[in-house]
Structure formats: structure tokens, C-alpha cells
Amino acid sequence: MQGIDLTEGLNYGVRMTIFGIVIITISGISAASGIGVLMSTLGYSVGINLGLSLRGINTTLLSVLGAILTITGIISLVSGLIALVYKLIVDSVSRGARAASNTQSQSRSS
């Protein structure tokens, strides 16, 4: 069995962690913005005042925008986490297949 050196493992772990943080951050911002817009159109105070005047905008349009942002955030979170797990599985399977191929070629040459 082929070992993995420490720097390669740390490098891979950092890249996967950064990818996960980016996914969570982007989808969280989208979902939180959507929920904030939905709550403000329903009359609830969300504690965030961006200085935007919502008086002239149709509340139905704002509700639809909030719902779209929320759904987009949730879908991007789920699909991003699935992609993260998929990449981990694909990388490990390809590394295992490469190691098996190298072992077979070494046993044939002996």
C-alpha cells in the first residue's frame, strides 16, 4: 500500500476545507439575504438596515425575490456539499486505481 506524505495530505485537506468554507459562505449569504427580504416584506424587524427604501417597490415582487434568493442559497449549499463529497470519492478512487495499476505492473515486471 502506498503512503501519502504529510504535506500532500495537508495541502489536500486545506483545499477541501477552503472549498467547503466558500460554499457555505456564498450559500449562507444568499439564503440569509432572501430570508431578510422575506421577513422585511412581512413586517418583521430583522435587525439589519441596509438603508434601502422599500416604499415604491411592490411587496409581492420583493417576496418573490426573497424566496428565489432563499431557495438558491439552499440549493447551492446542498449541491456544493454533494460536489465536495463527490470530489473526495473520485479522488480517492482514482488514487487507489493508480496504486493498483502500479502494483500490477510491478508484479508483472518481476
Instruction: Report residue 60 as a C-alpha cell.
Output: 409581492
Is residue 86 in a domain? yes
Residue 40 domain-assigned? Answer: yes
- Residue 101 domain-assigned? no
Q: Which residues contact 9 (CB under 8 A, 6 or more apart)?
A: none
Q: What mean pLDDT comes out for the span 2-29? A: 90
Q: Can you tell me the distance from the alpha carbon of 12 to that of 74, in angstroms, rounded to the nearest whole number?
A: 26
Q: Does residue 102 lie in a domain region? A: no
In a domain, 92, yes or no: yes
Residues 97, 27: Cα–Cα separation, whole Å: 34
Q: Is the pTM of this model over 0.75?
A: no
pLDDT over 60 (residue 50): no
Q: Which domain holds residue 25?
A: 19-49+58-96
For the stretch 86-107, pLDDT in tens is 999 999 898 888 888 887 777 7
Q: Please give the pLDDT value at position 75.
A: 96
For residue 24, give the nearest of 74, 70, 92 by alpha carbon. Answer: 74
Q: How many domains does the chain have?
A: 1
* Residue 7 belongs to some domain of the structure: no
Residue 80, in any domain of the structure: yes
